[in-house]
Structure 1
Amino acid sequence: MMPDLGKYAAEVVSAYAVSLGLLIGLVALSLRRSARLRDALRQVEDRQRKTNG
């Protein structure tokens, strides 16, 4: 399945692993920030509803 990478196999595989790790980290941080912002927006909207009655 995997192509023959010759003497650079370790470097190529490690580069793919680092890239994949960074992508996963960015997605995780984005999802976490999205959840925090959604909660903050919900709190602002709730306060606004209470004020406007």
Structure 2
Amino acid sequence: MTLGPYASFIVTSYVSVATVVVALIVWVIVDYRRQKARLRGLEAAGAIRRSGRSAAEVQ
């Protein structure tokens, strides 16, 4: 496969986009875990949820 004179730009663009997408996926996973831990902490402190569900049921 020949990309011509713009090969470095094309490859750099694809690598950049892949890096951003992976970073966003990791960020969402980390934030999800952090929010679950925070919710468990609030429930352990006695806070109640309006939905009536516990953090274990939300999974």
Whose radius of gyration is greater, 1 or 2?
A: 1
**Structure 1 unaligned blocks of 5 or more:** none
Shift of 1:15: 0.1
State the TM-score, normalized to the length of structure 1: 0.78
Structure 1 stretches (4+) deviating beyond 3 angstroms? none
**Secondary structure of the corresponding residue to residue 48 of structure 1:** coil
Match of 1:24 in 2: 22
Quote the Cα distance in structure 2 between the aligned partners of 1:7 and 1:21. Answer: 23
> Unaligned 5+ residue runs, structure 2?
48-59
Q: How many residues align?
A: 47
Superposition CA RMSD, Å: 1.4
- Residue 15 of structure 1 corresponds to 13
More relative contact order, 1 or 2 (CA 8 Å, 6+ apart): 2
Question: How much does 1:42 deviate?
Answer: 0.9
